[in-house]
Structure 1
Amino acid sequence: MAAVDWSTLPLDLLGHIAMKLETIEDFIYFSAVCPSWNHVSSLIKHQWRPIPVPWLLLSENTSNNPHCVRKIFNPSNNKCYKLNFPKTFEAKCWGSNYGWVAMVDRKLDVRLFNPITKAEIHFPSVTTIPDQNPYNEEIDENEEKYISWYLRLFMRRLVVLKVAQNEFVIIAITIDHLAFAKQGDKSWTLVFIKKDYGITLFDVVAMNGYVFALYNDASLVYWNIEDFQGHELIRPMEYSLLEFKMFEEFISGLGTLYLVESGCDLLMVLRFKKEVLDSDGNDYHPDVYETFRFSVYRLDTKDRRWEEITDHATLFVGSNSTMSVSAKCLQPNCIYFTDDEFELSSLATKFGGHDMGVYDIKCKKKWRFYEGDDIHSAYCRPTWFIPQL
């Protein structure tokens, strides 16, 4: 039987084959077979959509790593991929659903970076966010304390919004501001938020054309996503909710709250953590903390209340990103979580980044999904992102 020359297959047939592929890995392998297959993949890559499975961009290894290799972990097959990411080193990173990783580097510049294609989109420096109160005005802008203040304390999170096919807006959550910037802007525009004593903005998420934000007094507010395309100070609309009894108990302890878009539902995920006592049970090491359970709530828009649920898609949470996916290769009703402590782990040399794993909401059990040691960074914890070409 004569050997088949796969490079001579008709282009339309190759296109049909490629559109059946389900993962980023398979599509990349397909494009690497030969020039004709690579040509077909370049023609259809904007129409092809993989099964959305988050990958984990692990922390950088700064010792004996001259080529700035950084690992990406795929939880669906437990594989690690090594890629060259020099621009992400010593930067603070946040993932997104759109293939982009948002980052603030040591020059305090902001950009979106695609780990697969290496494409970049530049945004204004975080130093252009109005009405800041820097760590110490007498500190030179090139000094480590100045940079560390921005990366460790000032910048809490960057949220990526997709407002058109290839147009993105970034929302910055800082210690005392909410601001946004569009591609091509020279500076950030402020968003009106509460600044009463003791009031903290927990999280922000985009869903169905709106942007929602939740405060620690249980108030939920929202904006129309089109409001983030101008340059005016925008004010939110209040969404009144019935009393949530667990809320006060939760915020008085050690834990984190996340907002997650899940299809047409808005979910609130409560993460409960505890301090770990030493072997004598007398005290705890300030770097040692542990997540011991989660609770998930769905917003009932009809009755305007949060209702607890145990059936949901696979959720991914952490300080850097939150997302919800339905994929056969992942376990439903489970929450993949990464370390989100910065205050407790800011001085950590051994334990920082350790608090991550998988939690089964029904069985109330947890286990680790990654056993590597590249989980600690001075500025950036491992972060979830959904890869796209």
Structure 2
Amino acid sequence: MSADWSTLPLDLLGNIAFKMDSFEDFIYFSAVCRSWNCASSSIKHLWRAPSLPWLLLAENTQGNPNCLRNIFNLNNNKHYSLNLPETFGARCWGSPYGWIAMAKRDLTVQLFNPFTKANISFPSLQTLPHLPIYEPGSFDDSWYDYYDWVLMFFLQKLIVLKVPQSGGHHEFVIILLSPEYKGLSFAKCGDQAWTTILIEDLVLGVYDVLVMNDLVFALYNYDGAIAYWSVKEFYGAGVVKPTIYSPGKYRIFERLNVCTNYAYLVQSGSDLLMVLRFKEDVMDSDDLYDIVYRTIEFKIYKLNPKDQNWENIKDLGDIVLFVGDNSSMSVSLAHAKGLRQNSVYFTDDDTESWLCPPEQGGILAGRDMGVFNLRTNRIERFYEGNDRRSSICSPTWFIPHFKIVLGLGSSY
């Protein structure tokens, strides 16, 4: 006599679901039947998935009426196709918190969870005090229009920060980086406009931003200086004014001051890391007349808090880094056995090269993607699918989560 597994008590099913050790297994569990779905829904706000980044691949606009978009799981090298019309036509940046930050052609900004379809609205880009006003004839419409220019050129990156609040809750703040405007802007859920972060004596802008120990750290362009401010200043009435923490080290940054190179800030446990990315121009194998770029090397430095110097490191231990067109993140191999040790996984984030469409000689986003081994200094491919390339945005790393909204803040 066969058992009817759907009649198991909900508390027992909840205990079983809680022991699922992967995000996809939890989803499969919830899809078995109505009672299993009810049990998994009742405990999913408590369940913690292993912190392994997944890759939201580029959108496919050709012959795709259901707006399916592939998500790639590094741990088992499997694809999952999701119906995600919300992401089509938008630039997307991943985060470690389940959210995808999206900016759309109508200049709206949202945080979007591709698995739960939950979203949080943020102020329109039109509220940015430094956003150039469109004037007819100011843009070459044969290559791109004003809205393309805002998404592809004015916006460098949207970085999602998880800011602690009282009572153990958190709120999500978006930091906006722009190569056109050398300062920073931020917005919280419920804000009516973006707020400027005043940075004095800033030459070229900011590479990356992260939250660590209730402080926000910013990596300045040009010389690698580090500045910080308290997360409490996101809720103050005045303009945020960062304090310089670590003076710039121009010698380290001398090679980096080329437009195609980049730098990232990454938290690894209690350490603050700076990751430098170097590229070179090469001939594209797909078109011998097309000069493109590729990443050739990464250098990693750890900040010594005693003397505020950057120390070069060549061994990450059991930590793997994920950088690119996303919020930078680190993952322990204890939670992700399928990853390559002592490596940096990277995606394409050279926005300026994606400006004009391919038929006009433009370069598709997503070409410069791979994994760099710090021990061998070699780069290998981890994904070769055609859906890594797009004229809109590059594939982006994010860590899946289920979301609960608590007032204007959010928690997991």
- Alignment TM-score, normalising by the size of structure 1: 0.92
Matched, 1:381 2:394: yes
Report what 1:247 is aligned to.
253
Report what 2:24 is aligned to.
25
Report what 1:153 is aligned to.
153
Aligned mates of 1:354, 1:365 — CA distance in 2: 17
Report what 2:299 is aligned to.
295
Report what 2:410 is aligned to.
none
8 A Cα contact 1:287 1:345, kept in partner: no
Report what 2:214 is aligned to.
209
Deviation per CA, 1:253-280: give whole Å up to 9, x if none. 742111112222111111111111489x
- Please, which of 345, 353, 361 is the counterpart of residue 336 of structure 1? 345
- 2:327 maps to a residue whose letter is S
- Please, which of 345, 370, 385 is the counterpart of residue 357 of structure 1? 370
Deviation per CA, 1:68-93: give whole Å up to 9, x if none. 11111111111111111112111111
Aligned mates of 2:156, 2:291 — CA distance in 1: 19
- 1:373 maps to a residue whose letter is N
Aligned mates of 1:328, 1:6 — CA distance in 2: 32
> Once the two structures are aligned, what percentage of the paired residues are identical?
51
Aligned mates of 2:219, 2:52 — CA distance in 1: 26
Q: Which runs of 5+ in 1 are unaligned?
A: none
Q: SS state of the match for residue 296, structure 1?
A: strand
With over 3 angstroms needed to count, the CA separation of the structure-2 counterparts of 1:183 and 1:71, relative to structure 1, is same
User: What is the aligned length?
Assistant: 381
- 1:187 maps to a residue whose letter is A
Report what 1:276 is aligned to.
282
Aligned mates of 1:261, 1:251 — CA distance in 2: 23
Displacement of 1:226 after TM fit? 1.6
Q: SS state of the match for residue 38, structure 1?
A: helix
Displacement of 1:286 after TM fit? 5.5
Matches for 1:62-141 after TM superposition, within 5 Å: 62-134=61-133, 136-138=134-136
- Alignment TM-score, normalising by the size of structure 2: 0.87
8 A Cα contact 1:254 1:273, kept in partner: yes
8 A Cα contact 1:321 1:383, kept in partner: no
Displacement of 1:132 after TM fit? 3.0
8 A Cα contact 1:211 1:225, kept in partner: yes
Aligned mates of 1:253, 1:42 — CA distance in 2: 47
Report what 2:330 is aligned to.
324
Of 144-153 and 182-191, deviating more is 144-153
Q: Which runs of 5+ in 2 are unaligned?
A: 403-412
8 A Cα contact 1:109 1:124, kept in partner: yes
Matched, 1:308 2:321: no
Displacement of 1:17 after TM fit? 1.7
Deviation per CA, 1:108-145: give whole Å up to 9, x if none. 000000000000100110110113334x434699x862
Report what 2:58 is aligned to.
59
Aligned mates of 1:273, 1:70 — CA distance in 2: 29
Matches for 1:257-268 after TM superposition, within 5 Å: 257-268=263-274
Deviation per CA, 1:41-76: give whole Å up to 9, x if none. 111100000101111111111111111111111111
Aligned mates of 1:363, 1:131 — CA distance in 2: 44
Aligned mates of 2:390, 2:258 — CA distance in 1: 28
Aligned mates of 1:348, 1:285 — CA distance in 2: 16
Matches for 1:160-175 after TM superposition, within 5 Å: 160-163=160-163, 164=165, 165=169, 167-175=171-179
Displacement of 1:384 after TM fit? 0.7
Aligned mates of 2:6, 2:66 — CA distance in 1: 34
Aligned mates of 1:286, 1:299 — CA distance in 2: 39
- 1:251 maps to a residue whose letter is N
Report what 1:347 is aligned to.
356
Aligned mates of 1:359, 1:191 — CA distance in 2: 34
Aligned mates of 2:278, 2:389 — CA distance in 1: 21
Report what 1:223 is aligned to.
229
